[in-house]
Amino acid sequence: MQFGHFDDDAREYVVTTPLTPYPWINYLGSERFFSLLSHLGGGYSFYRDAKMRRLTRYRYNNIPTDEGGRYLFVHDAGDVWTPTWQPVRAELDHFEARHGLGYSTITGERGGLRVATTFLVPLGEDAEVQKVTVTNVSDAPKRVSLFSFVEFALWNAQDDQTNYQRNLSIGEVEVEEATPSGGSAIYHRTEYRERRNHYAVFGVNERAAGFDTDRETFLGGPFASFADAAVPRSGASANSVASGWYPIGSHSVDLELAPGESHELVYVLGYLENDVEHKWADEAHQVVNKEGAHALLARFATPAAFDAAHEALREHWNGLLATYTVSSSDEKLDRMVNVWNQYQCMVTFNMSRSASYFETGIGRGMGFRDSNQDLLGFVHLVPERARERIIDIASTQFPDGSAYHQYQPLTKRGNDDIGSGFNDDPMWLVAGVAGYLKETGDYAILDEPVPFDNAPGTEVPLFEHLTRSFDFVVSHLGPHGLPLIGRADWNDCLNLNAFSTEPGESFQTTENKTGGAAESTFIAAQLVLYGADYVALAERRGLTEVAQAARTAVDGVRVALLEHGWDGRWFLRAYDYYGNPVGTGADDEGKIWIEPQGFAVMAGVGVERGEDGSVLPDSRAVLALDSVGEMLGTPHGLVLQSPAYTTYRVELGEVSTYPPGYKENGGIFCHNNPWVIIAETVLGRGERAFDYYRRITPAYREAISDVHRLEPYVYAQMIAGKEAVRAGEAKNSWLTGTAAWNFVAVSQYLLGVRPDYDALVVDPQIGPDVPEFTVRRVLRGATYEVTVRNSGAEGVRARLEVDGVPVEGNRVPYAPAGATVRITATL
């Protein structure tokens, strides 16, 4: 069952009913100011940091779901309704929500009045701007009143939801009924009189008939709901001024519309800062200096200014998405590769895992592991920002090569609440830097001075940080020669050194076992894969002895993985604190885990080839991936492990706390499915790889949206597994490493066009369902047009012609900037 459809020409997803299975959202903003916006107008806005600079309030786990956002109440001759359906939930004659790239348009129609609101964050602005178009589609004149609404959060989102003994006494606003640009504005200035130098403005571009800034007045008392809001039902603003309690922003605008007539309004919600010396407009320090806000409101004083910002945003995305495009006979493949997967990669770059409808933006910052992986999916779009992100990440590393697991986006400093000890973190820095260098060729970054733990005076070249990362892993090996896991590896819920029996303890930070030998086969495979990149970079710097020593260390871990990490038909997952194997056929539950199977084969471990170069059918890589398909496969994707755990195993940690089939306990983690997809292309099994890709990719799941529940245009982190009560149901959409890894899998391995250090690699493996396609790839200033003619035969590798000339192998040396290279690949 579907609840909307793709509009590929407009690059929009069109939601056609308010009653989707869950709120379907979009993200506005790509620089410093961001908004989460559901198809019903729900969500909130913040500046840079969703915890420390929250502008508006949102209530998670609310009843009804997704109530609280930016609303426009309509009073039409006594009929009160909201074009976003929420919160009044009056029946609409027409509803449509269009989520586009950095903007959304929500349209509601009732009683002959159509109201369409487009929301966006303009490039270069710290504001959400809305254009409202009100049209009388009836055959009679109309007199209507509109009442806008936002509820201000008191900046620190955590404090906002907890410290009521203070917060219910400090709310302050200023009201400006006539701004210099001809509109009206409300200013949220809570705590501005003391330590803060920032404030928010909510303005409309026309002189308002009235205003309200006190929530209780607007709603009609402490027991009223948003749906019952008294001011819109009365038809006139109360001109309330908040003092303490709950500050809001609301303007009323009265309109008279002839039949067929439209009227446009522009609303602005903005964030402003003043220097300490220029905080006040008066000597008594009672009036906020509004110069910045006045300039912002003036920039959007007309609908034409909004339209120009909208067009600039479209052009911005057109430029970004022109870097990698595919044209094929599969429209779902094209729309995911060309638009939605890359768009999600950019959103995930901006947010890491911090602010979604499943993460409040309070408890998590930017992840060290997460951000390095995300970089792999967006580096081709904004390489200059990828460079900055790499420096930010590396600056949180400790001198021994370990790192803070998270850092805060506002301060760019490590998060002490989470700390370090996740032993997969170090090698992700190597992965991120390698991905950046393959894309850009900017080797100067390796000489960039970068501090440890952001401490001035500790700066060393970035390459030294890579060395510390590599050395940390190879110097922390267990008795089997495999890397020690620490608090966890990629799977945060596999906690082999935290034996928790106390409710409320953190499995990740309660590290209460020492002296054990818990080892990770995943980190072993990770070291083999990215250790090769470290070796390559050392050789490029002329560090022959360093490279050789690293190669020897990597080879030792590869041997250990084959000798001690193999269970007969698949790779073990780990050794626990006591030295017992995890992920073994000898166990009744958790026999096989997905992570080491995919990552080991990606790294070439167990890939044994015959004299003709083909993979031997009895090689360990083949056995492992065949076991994955047999034991982990479902119609909705590959589960993380099987069978799921049915009892709590204290020696394994959080993974066994989830009911069978959910999250890490037998759920389908869409983040690691791409590792198997890539691994299958390594073996030349493109048909299997593409089949796995389609099982989890949202556009292919749109027809079962009633089962999937979440947005059919972006990936979810998790889909409930085969042992779950609600198998196939997704959770945790948008902010997930799934976005980057699936784009890497489809663009670089299924479609097979990927950058390397000195050449473009063309090696497609997608099976027979896509017999021909063309990839256009812009890389280092040159354009590569790759046409693939594909038989889909298993194990066949492409033969290349470059500008009509046959070439050996699959590597095409980089062309000069400005050149166009035409490549034909035939399988």
In the block, residue with structure tokens 């579907």? 2
Can you give the pLDDT at residue 608?
Answer: 94
Can you give the pLDDT at residue 251?
Answer: 98
Q: How far apart are the C-alpha atoms of 132 and 129, rounded to whole Å?
A: 10
Average the pLDDT over each of 22-31, 61-70, 774-783, 796-805 and give the range with the smallest value. 61-70
> Please, are residues 464 and 543 in contact by the beta-carbon 8 Å criterion?
no
> Please, are residues 161 and 50 in contact by the beta-carbon 8 Å criterion?
no
Pairing of strands 247-257, 173-176: unpaired
Q: How far apart are the C-alpha atoms of 472 and 200, rounded to whole Å?
A: 45
**For a pLDDT cut of 70, what percent of the chain falls above it?**
100
Best CA proximity match to 786, nearest among 768, 807, 769: 807
DSSP conformation class of 570: S
CA R_g for the chain: 28
Burial class (CB within 10 angstroms; exposed 0-12, middle 13-18, buried 19+) of 318: exposed
- Looking at every residue in the chain, the average pLDDT score rounds to 96
> Please, are residues 121 and 33 in contact by the beta-carbon 8 Å criterion?
yes
In the block, residue with structure tokens 């410290």? 163
> Please, are residues 206 and 254 in contact by the beta-carbon 8 Å criterion?
no
pLDDT over 90 at 675, yes or no = yes
Can you give the pLDDT at residue 316?
Answer: 98
Can you give the pLDDT at residue 509?
Answer: 79
> Please, are residues 226 and 155 in contact by the beta-carbon 8 Å criterion?
no
Higher model confidence: residue 792 or residue 153?
153
Whole-Å CA distances, 106 to 223, 266, 416, 591: 29, 15, 41, 48
CA 270 from chain centre, in angstroms, equals 23
Average the pLDDT over each of 283-297, 313-327, 351-365, 521-535 and give the range with the smallest value. 351-365
pLDDT over 80 at 416, yes or no = no
> Please, are residues 517 and 577 in contact by the beta-carbon 8 Å criterion?
yes
**CA-CA-CA-CA dihedral for 778, 784, 789, 794, to nearest 10:** -70
If one counts every other C-beta atom within 10 angstroms of the C-beta of residue 816, the result is 9
Q: Which letter, b or e, does each residue of 623-642 get, where b requires 16 or more Cβ atoms within 10 Å of its Cβ?
A: bbbbbbeebbbbebbbbbbb
pLDDT over 80 at 364, yes or no = no
Q: How far apart are the C-alpha atoms of 622 and 412, rounded to whole Å?
A: 43
pLDDT band at 665 (very low <50, low <70, confident <90, very high): very high
In the block, residue with structure tokens 């998405």? 321
- How many CA atoms are closer than 13 Å to the CA of 807, on its beta-carbon side? 17
pLDDT over 80 at 297, yes or no = yes
Name the residues annotated as catalytic. Answer: 492
For 572, residues 6+ apart whose C-beta sits below 8 A from its C-beta are 521, 564, 565, 566, 581, 582, 583, 584, 596
> Please, are residues 772 and 788 in contact by the beta-carbon 8 Å criterion?
yes
Q: Which helix (H) or strand (E) holds 188?
A: strand 184-188
Give the orientation angle of helix 425-440 with respect to helix 383-394, to 10 degrees.
150
Q: How far apart are the C-alpha atoms of 389 and 676, rounded to whole Å?
A: 28
Q: How far apart are the C-alpha atoms of 192 and 650, rounded to whole Å?
A: 49
Can you give the pLDDT at residue 86?
Answer: 97
Can you give the pLDDT at residue 421?
Answer: 82
Helix, strand, coil content of the chain in percent (nearest 5): 30, 25, 45
Can you give the pLDDT at residue 716?
Answer: 97
Q: Which amino acid is at 45?
A: S
Q: How far apart are the C-alpha atoms of 189 and 171, rounded to whole Å?
A: 8
Can you give the pLDDT at residue 419?
Answer: 75
pLDDT band at 188 (very low <50, low <70, confident <90, very high): very high
The pTM of the full predicted model, rounded to 2 decimals, is 0.97
Phi, psi (deg, nearest 5) at residue 537: -70, -40
pLDDT tens per residue, range 533-580 = 999 999 999 999 999 999 999 999 999 999 999 999 999 999 999 999
Whole-Å CA distances, 775 to 326, 333, 768: 4, 12, 17
Can you give the pLDDT at residue 387?
Answer: 97
pLDDT tens per residue, range 167-187 = 999 999 999 999 999 999 999
Burial class (CB within 10 angstroms; exposed 0-12, middle 13-18, buried 19+) of 585: middle
Can you give the pLDDT at residue 636?
Answer: 98
If one counts every other C-beta atom within 10 angstroms of the C-beta of residue 823, the result is 22
Q: How far apart are the C-alpha atoms of 775 and 777, rounded to whole Å?
A: 6
In the block, residue with structure tokens 């979009």? 26
| Three-state DSSP state, 305 | helix
Q: Which amino acid is at 792?
A: G
> Could you tell me the two tokens for 272?
């402003």
> Could you tell me the two tokens for 739?
């976005």
List beta partners, residue 788.
Answer: 773, 825
pLDDT tens per residue, range 596-650 = 999 999 999 999 998 888 899 999 999 999 999 999 999 999 999 999 999 999 9
Whole-Å CA distances, 673 to 405, 493, 692, 775: 23, 17, 8, 23
> Please, are residues 521 and 599 in contact by the beta-carbon 8 Å criterion?
no
List beta partners, residue 762.
Answer: 753
pLDDT over 80 at 491, yes or no = yes
Q: Which letter, b or e, does each residue of 540-556 get, where b requires 16 or more Cβ atoms within 10 Å of its Cβ?
A: eeebeebbebbbebbee
If one counts every other C-beta atom within 10 angstroms of the C-beta of residue 342, the result is 24
> Could you tell me the two tokens for 794?
């298993």
Can you give the pLDDT at residue 535?
Answer: 98
pLDDT band at 367 (very low <50, low <70, confident <90, very high): confident
pLDDT tens per residue, range 343-361 = 999 999 998 888 999 999 8
Q: How far apart are the C-alpha atoms of 483 and 390, rounded to whole Å?
A: 24
In the block, residue with structure tokens 């009929």? 79
Q: How far apart are the C-alpha atoms of 478 and 384, rounded to whole Å?
A: 39
DSSP conformation class of 272: E
Can you give the pLDDT at residue 630?
Answer: 98
Can you give the pLDDT at residue 17?
Answer: 98
Pairing of strands 782-789, 820-826: parallel
Q: How far apart are the C-alpha atoms of 683 and 628, rounded to whole Å?
A: 14
Q: Which helix (H) or strand (E) holds 718?
A: strand 716-719
Give me the mean pLDDT over the 229-245 stretch: 97
Range 279-283, long-range pairs (CB < 8 A, 24+ positions)? 279/192, 279/197
Can you give the pLDDT at residue 411?
Answer: 80
pLDDT over 90 at 740, yes or no = yes
pLDDT over 80 at 410, yes or no = no
> Please, are residues 378 and 349 in contact by the beta-carbon 8 Å criterion?
yes
Q: How far apart are the C-alpha atoms of 741 and 675, rounded to whole Å?
A: 8
